[in-house]
Amino acid sequence: MKKKLRLTIRMRTVLEAYSFLSLWLIGFAMFMAIPLGRSFYYAFNKMNVTKEGLTPEWTGTLNFRRAFSTDVNFLPLLQNSFLELLIQVPLILIFAMFAALLLNRPLVGRTFFRGVFFLPVIIASGAVLAEILEQGAERMPLFTSTGLFMTLSNVIPPNILEPLLNLADQLTLVMWNSGVQILIFLAGLQTISSSLYEAADIDGATKWESFWKITFPMIAPMILVNTLFTIVNSFTAANNQMMAYIRTVVFNQNDYGYGAAIGWIYFLMIFLIIAFVFWLFRKNLSNTEGRR
Amino acid sequence: MSKTATQKWSDKVQADWVVTAKKRGGLFISKLSLYTVLISLSFVFLYPLLFIVSQSLMMSTDVSDSTVQWIPQSLSFSNYLDAFLALGGAQSRTYWDAFMYSGIISFGSAALQVFSCALAGYAFGRYRFPGYTLFLSLVLFAFLVPPQTIIVPLFQLFSDFGWINTFYPFIVPSLTGHGLKGALFVLIFIQFFHRLPFVLEEAARIDGASAFRTYWTIMLPLARPAMLVVFLFSVVWHWNDVFEPNLYLRVPNYYNLSQTLAIFNGVGSAQIDAATAGLNAAQTIGVAPTMMNKIMAAAMLSILPMLVLYLFTQRYFVESVERAGIAGE
């Protein structure tokens, strides 16, 4: 008790909270807020490399216009990375949910299976994944083998079959990317009390019904968490082409202003997607707020 | 009418606890299909590892031989020796030098992130203060900003400080609870601290402990599951990260494992390109001195430390995610 200061209890707790938070706040200012502001400023400038370092030269929205008009690489890249995200996120969610439901049952060797399902997070998330992808190992021989393609193309027209098989090929990548998501779903499943299922069973609900009426609503918050995690995780993925492109622009072409501009465009697009995700889950969010 | 209904009801009751032959058969089939699905999925998950191990033990002749799929005709451990030297990334460096750099970056940053993210998480999880909502949304914001957006000023900042080719660009942001996925770790700690009972703290405070002492001696030891999950994830993600090391370690003498692996791969493809220039796909078979086996040996060496770590901490990885409440509510 410091009597000299004569602080109220409320003041004291607030001070304590801020002192716990101070380190993080300093970091936020240095490594997030200021860089973000500076990168926003750079985006409207042409950065000239001179003896005194970088000198900005105001060009207005030129960098942004360049991204959408004269740069032949940027738009296809942006389109690809978002198309990939839009395909992968639902697939990862569905697969992770499926795997979590499987692993949540009483099993012999449950720890082993969980360990195996999580293995790609350890080994296939960085440079090694890039190597394996380059060798084409993610394409399971099952789907790309020409025999299957030829047989199926007699039945299904090739222009429908090809995207389908490509999607099937991507499935391995989807599985390798869903380790953390499986764990999150699993954690969610284990918080659901078994008495709910018992009650539903007594009332005559089938397994299918109790999945949609109990399991699904109960782990809906985890779906939001997983969606956000999957999106955020894709930024630093070893095969994120936008990352590679910005690095080339900045460090090989020394075009700092333009690099900042496309970084911002990417960010705004991501932000729109995330806003859309939050809008989808708005009902769910308001529910959890009430529960706390 | 009512009699048949009663009949059905009693049937159902009996069926729940009397295991009939028919039921046992159904149970067997559903068990069988469950394990079939699980084992075939496990194969997909083990596939990259099996692929790396099998390729890395092959002689060059086996790699280009299309009749050899998985099992090499003769084992060759010389790939590992070559990879061991090549992973140094520069002359007079071997695997160990790059390994040290990777180790310092990942274990150092991980330890610091545990320390700093726990502090921030404690503030959010246990206190209500003016600006709470604002700062919490800043955490979420920091989580969602792609690193691509801020690399230019961040690189500039670190080069102004003279921190390029040092560990500081990894260490200092980690010390303040930022760095690779720092915001996610703060969120994990928030969730964890939020769920602990308030009585513990109150008791300590009434007994006269200061806020920091309460945190350090009572709350932090309780947060061990969350600390463990943050530490392990941070180590693994830093180890596998290629983006930041490529940005901040720009001299071959300072390269870490993920960088030297990428370089080795580049050397390999360049050799293959040179050997196969001007040939069509069918002609290249057997001509190119493929380095795939050596590259895969290098890949194996670079993930081996993480595999060993995973082997011993697998239980914690999986369990602590549940206990630390990553999922939250």
In this prediction, residue A10 carries a pLDDT of 86
Tell me how close the Cα of B328 comes to any Cα of chain A, in angstroms: 8
Instruction: Give the DSSP letter of residue B252.
Output: G
Whether B316 contacts B227, CB under 8 Å: no
Indicate the length of chain A as a whole number.
Answer: 292
Q: Does residue B284 surpass a pLDDT of 60?
A: no
Residue B325 binned pLDDT confidence (cut-offs 50, 70, 90): low
ipTM score here?
Answer: 0.84
Least trusted range by pLDDT, from A91-95, B257-261, B287-291:
B287-291
Instruction: Give the DSSP letter of residue B215.
Output: I
* Predicted TM-score of the model (pTM): 0.84
Closest partner residue to B150 among A17, A27, A39, by Cβ?
A39
Pairing of strands A45-50, A53-58: antiparallel
Tell me the residues of chain B between 121 and 150 that have a Cβ less than 8 Å away from chain A: 122-124, 127-130, 135, 138, 141-150
CA–CA gap between residue B69 and residue A122 (Å, rounded): 25
Closest partner residue to B154 among A31, A111, A190, by Cβ?
A31
Whether B148 contacts A243, CB under 8 Å: yes
With CB atoms and an 8 Å threshold, state whether B240 touches A242.
Answer: no
A48 contacts in chain B (CB < 8 Å): none
DSSP string over chain A:
--TTTT--HHHHHHHHHHHHHHHHHHHHIIIIIHHHHHHHHHHTEEEEEETTEEEEEE-TTHHHHHHHTT-TTHHHHHHHHHHHHHHHHHHHHHHHHHHHHHHTS--TTHHHHHHHHHHHHHHSSSHHHHHHHHTTTTS-HHHH-HHHHHHHHHHS-HHHHHHHHHHHHHHHHHHHTTHHHHHHHHHHHHHS-HHHHHHHHHTT--HHHHIIIIIHHHTHHHHHHHHHHHHHHHHT-TT-HHHHHHHIIIIIS--HHHHHHHHHHHHHHHHHHHHHHHHHTHHHHHHHHHH-
DSSP string over B26-81:
HHHHHHHHHHHHHHHHHHHHHHHHHHHHHHHT--HHHHH-TT-SSS-SS---HHHH
With CB atoms and an 8 Å threshold, state whether A17 touches B143.
Answer: no
Q: Where is pLDDT greater, at B261 or B116? A: B116
In this prediction, residue B329 carries a pLDDT of 40
With CB atoms and an 8 Å threshold, state whether A116 touches B135.
Answer: no
Structure tokens at A223: 């779906």
CA–CA gap between residue B271 and residue B289 (Å, rounded): 8
In this prediction, residue B286 carries a pLDDT of 53
Q: Which of B11, B45, B214, B314 is most worth mutating to test chain A (most A CB atoms within 10 A of its CB)?
A: B45
Output the CA angle A13-A19-A22, nearest 5 degrees.
140
CA–CA gap between residue B280 and residue B290 (Å, rounded): 16
Task: Output Rg (C-alpha) for chain B, integer angstroms.
Answer: 27
Task: Output Rg (C-alpha) for chain A, integer angstroms.
Answer: 25
User: Mind listing the pLDDT tens digit for each residue in B219-237?
Assistant: 999 888 889 889 998 999 8
User: Mind listing the pLDDT tens digit for each residue in B160-204?
Assistant: 899 989 999 999 999 998 888 899 999 989 988 888 888 888 888
With CB atoms and an 8 Å threshold, state whether A31 touches B34.
Answer: no
Looking at CATH, the fold of the domain delimited by A84-254 is given as: MetI-like fold (1.10.3720)
B133 contacts in chain A (CB < 8 Å): none
A10 contacts in chain B (CB < 8 Å): none
Q: Does residue B324 surpass a pLDDT of 70?
A: no
Q: Does B321 touch chain A (CB under 8 A)?
A: yes
Residue B114 binned pLDDT confidence (cut-offs 50, 70, 90): very high
**Measuring CA to CA, how many Å separate A133 from each of A173, A243, B48, B198, B280?**
9, 17, 10, 49, 22
B229 contacts in chain A (CB < 8 Å): none
In this prediction, residue A174 carries a pLDDT of 83
Structure tokens at B6: 């009663």
CA–CA gap between residue A157 and residue A163 (Å, rounded): 11
With CB atoms and an 8 Å threshold, state whether B48 touches A221.
Answer: no
The candidate with the shortest Cα–Cα distance to A20, out of B115, B228, B178, B182, is B115
- The three-class DSSP label of residue B22 is helix
CA–CA gap between residue A139 and residue A173 (Å, rounded): 9
Q: Does A210 touch chain B (CB under 8 A)?
A: no
CA–CA gap between residue A135 and residue B59 (Å, rounded): 17
List chain A residues with pLDDT less than 70: 1-5, 124-127, 130-131, 133-154, 158, 161-166, 168-169, 238, 285-292
Structure tokens at A34: 């200021």
What is chain A's mean pLDDT, rounded?
82
Categorise residue B72: left if φ over 0, alpha if ψ from -120 to 50, beta otherwise.
beta
Q: Compute φ and ψ for A53, nearest 5 degrees.
A: 105, -150
With CB atoms and an 8 Å threshold, state whether A115 touches B154.
Answer: no
Whether B198 contacts B222, CB under 8 Å: no
Q: Does B306 touch chain A (CB under 8 A)?
A: yes
The candidate with the shortest Cα–Cα distance to B302, out of B123, B59, B56, B134, is B56
Q: Does A246 touch chain B (CB under 8 A)?
A: yes
- The three-class DSSP label of residue B105 is helix
Tell me how close the Cα of B92 comes to any Cα of chain A, in angstroms: 23
With CB atoms and an 8 Å threshold, state whether A263 touches B148.
Answer: yes
Closest-approach residue (CA) in chain B for A169: B44
Of the CA atoms within 13 Å of residue B30, those in its CB half-sphere come to 10
With CB atoms and an 8 Å threshold, state whether B149 touches A263.
Answer: yes
What is chain B's mean pLDDT, rounded?
81
> Which residue pairs from A163-169 have beta carbons closer than 8 angstroms and sit at least 24 positions apart in sequence?
A167/A87, A168/A143, A169/A138, A169/A139, A169/A140, A169/A143, A169/A144
Residue B118 binned pLDDT confidence (cut-offs 50, 70, 90): very high
In this prediction, residue B23 carries a pLDDT of 67
